[in-house]
Amino acid sequence: MAIVLGPNRYGKAETRLVRVARDGDTHTLTDLNVSVALAGDLTATHLTGDNSAVLPTDTMKNTVYAFARDGVGEPEAFGLRLARHFVQTLGHIDTATVTIESYGWQRLGPHSFQRSGDLTRTATVTVNPAGTQVVSGLSDLVLLNSTASEFHGFVKDRYTTLSETSDRILATAVNARWRHTGADTDWAGSFDGVRDALVSAFVNTYSHSLQQTLLSMGSVVLHRCSEVAEVRLALPNKHHYLVDLAPFGLDNPGEVFMAGDRPYGLIEGTVTRDDAPAATADWYM
């Protein structure tokens, strides 16, 4: 039996970067979590410990900070700068993937800020021999409809206890990733457009299932945002259970609920254009 080295990569994970742009008395804050992964001809270091082709991961961290000195801009643009740098300067590296989480801060004054906890913006840039791929995203965008949602007509077997309902709370924490058709766009405008499309579709879809809502959300994004090739969504169903107040001599006309934590339903799916350009690298939620 032959044993061979399979696909591999290495890098520096979760380099925390905070940059303050000082424009006179008014400052701008950028808060990122940057991960770099490189792949290429790295066989020697695995087989013999020969590190002559290994760029230290500490150097990758330093590169992130050095590049930030010239400005960061949008996460996608910063990721493109870094990924292209590693591929262009390291002859034995053919693939660089830069993944960025961007944390929002709300301005309170010229130099005062409050951390925004509504969502986390993400970007993953991959540069490889097949081309350049940019995937933007967001996580933990919590949305809730207090009505306009039903769930009935589902499969029932001997273990089914869930009752059908024609009126329920529908809530989720949206985790979305979308692949761009190219590597040159208005990243900030595109992110705002996709986020607004996701929210609009959730608000305006009368839902018979969270699956139906997922397709509606992805479809609205593709209709509104021509720069997006496909959308991947993971929607946890944040269950809300009507509390039985009868033991206290009280009715509950759909007003008092217990918010469930776990377990939860998880609905996942991809919505794509039939003429979308093929992906040049694997990408996941």
Does residue 238 belong to any structural domain of this protein? Answer: yes
AA letter at 28: T
Long-range CB contacts for residues 51-59, cutoff 8 Å, separation at least 24: 53/92, 54/10, 55/86, 55/90, 55/93, 57/10, 57/11, 57/12, 58/12
Do residues 194 and 174 lie in contact, with contact meaning Cβ atoms separated by under 8 Å?
no
Residue 67: CA atoms inside 13 Å, Cβ hemisphere, count? 22
Q: Of 62, 96, 129, which closes a domain?
A: 129
Domain count, the chain: 2
What is the pLDDT, as a whole number, of residue 71?
A: 96
Within-domain flag for 191: yes
> 81: left (phi > 0), else alpha (psi -120 to 50), else beta?
alpha
256 and 223, same domain (yes or no): yes
Same-domain status, 193 and 263: yes
**Local confidence band at 174 (pLDDT 50, 70, 90 cut-offs):** very high
Band (21; pLDDT cuts 50, 70, 90)? very high
79 assigned to some structural domain: yes
Q: Please write the tens of the pLDDT for every residue from 118-142.
A: 899 999 999 999 999 999 999 999 9
Half-sphere exposure of 211 (CA within 13 A, CB side): 2
The answer to whether residues 146 and 258 belong to one domain is yes
Among 58, 59, 72, 56, smallest CA distance to 17 is for: 72
- % residues pLDDT > 90 (the chain): 98
Residue 230, number of CB atoms within 10 A of its CB: 21
Catalytic residue set = 12, 57, 239
Q: What is the pLDDT of residue 140?
A: 96
Q: How confident is the model at residue 284 (pLDDT cuts 50, 70, 90)?
A: confident
- Provide the pLDDT confidence category of residue 285 given band limits of 50, 70 and 90: confident
Which CATH number covers residue 97? 3.10.270.10
Q: What is the pLDDT of residue 103?
A: 97
Q: Supply the range of the domain harboring residue 101.
A: 9-129
Q: Tell me if 74 is assigned to some domain.
A: yes
Which residue matches tokens 């924490």?
Answer: 173
160 confidence band (pLDDT: 50, 70, 90):
very high
